């Protein structure tokens, strides 16, 4: 069967079975998409999610900073963000990274995917060691004295509705919009906006017209930037 034309509704995605390509690259047959770009997901995170949100620069001088993410997947974005945070943080600063994930992966799957990058060896090992055998509810991990990871298991629309309105930055990472429109709906983008502090931001590799329109309708001031690895555009924006 050609999975590229299969919508998630047509497949039982309760356990989100994974395919592994080239040994350590996870692929979701249910959504017909990879979890990150095939060129280099770690560098993509730096270009799209960190730089797109003005990070690490915006960490300067902040006692606490909260990042939200739609789609935890393998935890690659978290691991890379944590690595950068550890390099640059000052004593006393605190980062809370809260991610919303419908199909949390198993420890061995996270470990297998992240082992691709020696740069995040320490973060991979610590995350895998702390990851529960049965991730459910809210997985809350104080990974070091200055870093908390929370993974809210369930549909993002429910998790974000229930979250506090104190996010400084968002990583919108819910598979390609053409494969998973739920993660880019106007309703969800409005919730993301509502839960963002004034001056807070979002970034995404997505550039689809309906995503742009939903983010504008939600209230974000949008900017288009060159995407990662030759992709023409990505989007980022600020809550005025
Ligand atoms: C592109 S992957 C995220 C990659 C991830 N940020 C990483 O660093 O590996 C998209 C993720 O969104 C999750 N997802 C898809 N639909 C969802 C929904 N409605 N609510 C919450 N998570 C969802 C998928 O299970 C998948 O893990």
Instruction: Indicate if ligand 1 lies below 6 Å from the C-beta of 184.
Output: no
Q: Ligand 1 mean position to 72 CA, how many Å?
A: 5
Q: How confident is the model at residue 145 (pLDDT cuts 50, 70, 90)?
A: very high
Q: What is the average pLDDT across 134-153?
A: 97
Answer yes or no: is pLDDT of 8 > 60.
no
- Please tell me the distance from the alpha carbon of residue 54 to that of residue 201, in angstroms, as a whole number: 8
Confidence tier at 61 by pLDDT (50, 70, 90): very high
And the tokens for 92?
């006393």
Check if 135 has its Cβ closer than 6 Å to any atom of ligand 1.
Answer: no
User: How far is C-alpha 84 from the geometric centre of its chain's CA atoms?
Assistant: 15
Q: What predicted TM-score, i.e. pTM, was given to this entire model?
A: 0.95
Given the structure tokens 């989007």, which residue do they identify?
A: 235
> Residue 85 contacts by C-beta under 8 Å, 6 or more apart in sequence?
56, 59, 95, 146, 147
Kindly indicate the confidence band of residue 101, based on its pLDDT and cuts at 50, 70 and 90: very high
Q: Give dist(CA 127, CA 167) in Å, integer.
A: 22
pLDDT beyond 50 at 24: yes
Q: 153: CA distance to ligand 1 center in Å?
A: 11
Lowest mean pLDDT among 4-8, 141-145, 227-231, 233-237: 4-8
In tens, the pLDDT along 172-228 reads 999 999 999 999 999 999 999 999 999 999 999 999 999 999 999 999 999 999 999
Contact 127, 78 (CB under 8 A): yes
Q: Are 110 and 128 in contact (CB under 8 A)?
A: yes
Domains recognised in the chain with CATH numbers = 41-238 (3.40.50.150)
Closest C-alpha to 49, from 89, 99, 107: 99
Strands of 196-204's sheet, edge to edge?
138-144, 147-153, 94-101, 64-70, 167-172, 196-204, 234-238, 221-225
Pocket lining: 103 vs ligand 1, CB cutoff 6 Å: yes
* Protein residue whose Cα sits closest to atom 24 of ligand 1: 71
Cβ–ligand 1 distance for 59 under 6 Å, the answer no
Across 44-72, b (16+ Cβ under 10 Å) vs e yields bbbbbbbbbbebbebbeeeeebbbbbbbb
Note the pLDDT of residue 186: 98
CA distance 52 to 167: 15
Give the C-alpha distances (Å, rounded to integers) separating 90 from 16, 87, 108, 148.
Answer: 39, 9, 32, 16
Residue 98 has pLDDT above 60, yes or no: yes
Question: Cβ distance 74 to 131 under 8 Å?
Answer: no
Residue 13: is its pLDDT beyond 70?
no
């Amino acid at each position: 069967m050609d999975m590229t034309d299969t919508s998630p509704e047509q497949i039982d995605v309760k356990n989100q079975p994974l395919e592994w390509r080239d040994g350590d690259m996870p692929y979701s047959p249910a959504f017909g998409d990879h979890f990150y770009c095939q060129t280099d997901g770690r560098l993509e995170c730096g270009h799209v999610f960190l730089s797109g949100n003005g990070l690490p620069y915006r960490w300067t001088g902040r006692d606490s900073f909260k990042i939200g993410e739609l789609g935890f997947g393998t935890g690659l974005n978290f691991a890379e963000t944590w690595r950068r945070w550890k390099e640059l943080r000052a004593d006393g600063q605190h980062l809370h990274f809260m991610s919303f994930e419908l199909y949390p992966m198993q420890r061995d799957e996270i470990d297998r995917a992240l082992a691709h990058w020696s740069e995040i060896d320490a973060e991979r090992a610590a995350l895998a060691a702390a990851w529960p055998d049965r991730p459910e509810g809210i997985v809350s991990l104080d990974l070091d004295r200055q870093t908390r990871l929370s993974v809210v298991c369930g549909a993002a629309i429910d998790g974000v509705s229930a979250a506090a309105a104190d996010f400084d930055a968002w990583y919108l990472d819910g598979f390609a919009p053409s494969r998973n429109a739920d993660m880019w709906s106007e309703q969800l983008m409005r919730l993301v906006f509502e839960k963002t502090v004034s001056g807070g931001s979002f970034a995404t590799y997505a550039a689809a017209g309906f995503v742009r329109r939903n983010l504008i309708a939600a209230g974000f001031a949008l900017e288009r930037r060159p995407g990662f690895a030759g992709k023409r555009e990505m989007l980022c924006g600020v809550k005025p």
